[in-house]
C-alpha cells in the first residue's frame, strides 16, 4: 500500500554540516557510528550517535564510496585505487587498483556482499559517457571487471539471503536485479526491476530486514520503498530535490538515514531548500540489516574472474 504524502514521516536534520555531494552512508553496529562521504569536498564523515559528536577527515581526492572492514579500518574508493583508512593515524594505505587506469574516471557507488566481497562501479567524472565498469574485489586480489558500458553506477545492495543483487545505471533510469551466487560471487540473469520517470533517477539504495529495497531518487524529491518484485510499497517525500543514498542505523537499526546533495544548485534553489546537503533521519517503522564488512583476509575461496558483460 502506498503511503500518501500527508501520512509520511517527516525527515529531521542531523548535525549542522552541509555536504556538497553526500553519499555512501553506512552504519557501524560495533561502534554505533554512522559513516558517510562528501564526494566533492572530499571528506569522510562520522556521527557518534550517543554523543552527537561529528568528525570529518579530508581526503586527498574524490571519494566515491566506503565500506566497513573486518579488521577495523575503512575501505575507501578513491579515483585511482582502493585504500584502507586508519582513523587513529589518519593514514591511507593503497590496497587494490583496477587493471587499467582510465583518464577522467573515478569510482562511485560501492557495497559489500554478505560474504565480504566489495563491489564498486567506475564512471567518467565529467562526461558520464557509457564507459564505466562494475568491479568485484575479493580480499587482496586484483579488482575484477564484471560489467562494462555504465554511465553512473549506483544502488548496489543485496537481499537478506544474499541471493539477489541490485544495481542501477542511473542515467538509464533503471534499477536492475540479478541472481547472485553467494559462494562464488557471480551475478547472472539481469532483469529490470524498476524504471523511474525523468528527471528523477535511482541513486543509492539499501535493503531492509523484510527484503524491501529503499532507493533515494536523485532529482525526484523522494525516497521509494520497493517490494522485491519491483512494486512500489511506499513513497516518502523529501524536503530536498536531491536525496542521494540511504542506510538503516541506530541501536535497533530502525532509523533511516538519508544523505543529500547541494552540488550545482543556484542561490535561489538553495534558499528554497535549506536542507539540501544535510544528513536527514526519519522513523519508518521498519528495521534494517547489519552492514556487511569487507573481508581483508577472506576465508571463502576466491572465485575465478567473471567474463565482462557489456
Per residue in 51-63, pLDDT tens? Answer: 999 999 999 999 9
Residue 7 in this model has a pLDDT that exceeds 70: no
What order of strands is seen across the sheet that includes strand 22-28? Answer: 22-28, 33-38, 43-48, 53-58
| pLDDT attached to residue 5 | 44
| pLDDT attached to residue 4 | 45
Distances from the Cα of 253 to the Cαs of 8, 150, 223, 250, in angstroms?
19, 32, 18, 5
Q: Tell me what the mean pLDDT of segment 198-206 comes to.
A: 97
**Does residue 241 or residue 141 have the better pLDDT?**
241
- Give a yes or no: residue 131 inside a domain: yes
- Give a yes or no: residue 292 inside a domain: no
Q: Give the E-state strand segments of 130-283 in sequence order.
A: 132-137, 144-150, 153-158, 164-169, 174-181, 186-195, 201-207, 213-218, 222-226, 232-237, 243-249, 255-260, 279-283
The catalytic residue among 203, 208, 283, 306 is 203
pLDDT-derived band at 6 (thresholds 50, 70, 90) equals very low
Q: How many domains does the chain have?
A: 1
- Give a yes or no: residue 290 inside a domain: no
What order of strands is seen across the sheet that includes strand 201-207? Answer: 201-207, 213-218, 222-226, 232-237
**Helix-, strand-, coil-residue percentages of the chain, each rounded to 5:** 5, 50, 45
- Give a yes or no: residue 300 inside a domain: no
Residue 40 in this model has a pLDDT that exceeds 90: yes
Give 16-31 pLDDT, tens digit per residue.
999 999 999 999 999 9
208 catalytic residue (yes or no): no
* Lowest-confidence pick of 1-15, 52-66, 145-159: 1-15
- Give a yes or no: residue 38 inside a domain: yes
Q: Could you tell me the residue range of the domain that residue 139 belongs to? A: 5-283
| pLDDT attached to residue 304 | 65
* CATH classification of the domain holding 178: 2.120.10.30
| pLDDT attached to residue 193 | 98
- Give a yes or no: residue 293 inside a domain: no
pLDDT-derived band at 2 (thresholds 50, 70, 90) equals very low
pLDDT-derived band at 270 (thresholds 50, 70, 90) equals very high
- Give a yes or no: residue 170 inside a domain: yes
Other C-beta atoms closer than 10 Å to the C-beta of 211 total 13
Q: Tell me what the mean pLDDT of segment 229-242 comes to.
A: 98
Residue 11 in this model has a pLDDT that exceeds 50: yes
- Give a yes or no: residue 305 inside a domain: no
- What nine digits make up the cell of 304? 575465478
Residue 107 and residue 55: Cα distance in Å, rounded? 23
Amino acid at each position: 500500500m502506498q503511503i500518501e504524502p500527508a501520512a509520511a514521516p517527516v525527515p529531521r536534520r542531523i548535525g549542522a554540516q552541509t555536504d556538497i555531494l553526500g553519499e555512501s552512508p553506512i552504519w557501524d553496529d560495533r561502534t554505533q557510528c554512522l559513516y558517510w562521504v562528501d564526494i566533492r569536498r572530499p571528506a569522510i564523515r562520522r556521527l557518534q550517535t550517543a554523543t552527537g559528536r561529528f568528525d570529518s577527515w579530508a581526503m586527498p581526492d574524490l571519494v566515491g564510496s566506503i565500506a566497513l572492514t573486518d579488521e577495523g579500518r575503512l575501505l575507501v574508493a578513491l579515483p585511482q585505487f582502493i585504500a584502507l583508512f586508519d582513523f587513529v593515524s589518519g593514514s591511507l594505505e593503497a590496497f587494490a587498483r583496477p587493471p587499467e587506469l582510465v583518464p577522467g574516471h573515478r569510482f562511485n557507488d560501492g557495497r559489500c556482499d554478505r560474504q565480504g566481497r566489495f563491489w564498486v562501479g567506475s564512471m567518467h567524472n565529467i562526461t558520464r559517457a557509457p564507459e564505466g565498469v562494475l568491479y568485484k574485489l575479493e580480499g587482496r586480489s586484483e579488482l575484477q571487471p564484471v560489467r562494462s558500458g555504465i554511465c553512473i553506477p549506483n544502488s548496489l545492495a543485496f537481499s537478506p539471503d544474499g541471493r539477489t543483487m541490485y544495481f542501477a545505471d542511473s542515467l538509464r533510469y533503471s534499477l536492475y536485479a540479478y541472481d547472485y551466487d553467494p559462494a562464488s560471487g557471480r551475478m547472472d540473469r539481469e532483469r529490470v526491476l524498476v524504471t523511474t520517470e525523468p528527471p528523477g533517477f535511482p541513486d543509492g539504495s539499501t535493503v531492509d530486514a523484510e527484503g524491501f529495497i529503499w532507493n533515494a531518487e536523485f532529482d525526484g524529491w523522494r525516497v521509494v520503498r520497493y517490494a522485491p518484485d519491483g512494486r512500489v510499497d511506499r513513497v516518502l517525500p523529501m524536503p530536498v530535490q536531491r536525496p542521494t543514498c540511504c542506510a538503516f542505523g541506530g541501536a535497533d537499526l530502525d532509523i533511516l538515514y538519508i544523505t543529500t546533495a547541494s552540488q550545482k544548485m543556484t542561490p535561489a534553489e538553495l534558499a528554497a531548500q535549506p536542507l539540501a546537503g544535510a544528513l536527514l533521519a526519519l522513523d519508518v517503522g521498519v528495521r534494517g540489516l547489519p552492514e556487511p564488512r569487507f573481508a581483508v583476509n577472506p576465508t571463502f575461496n576466491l572465485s575465478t574472474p567473471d567474463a565482462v558483460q557489456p
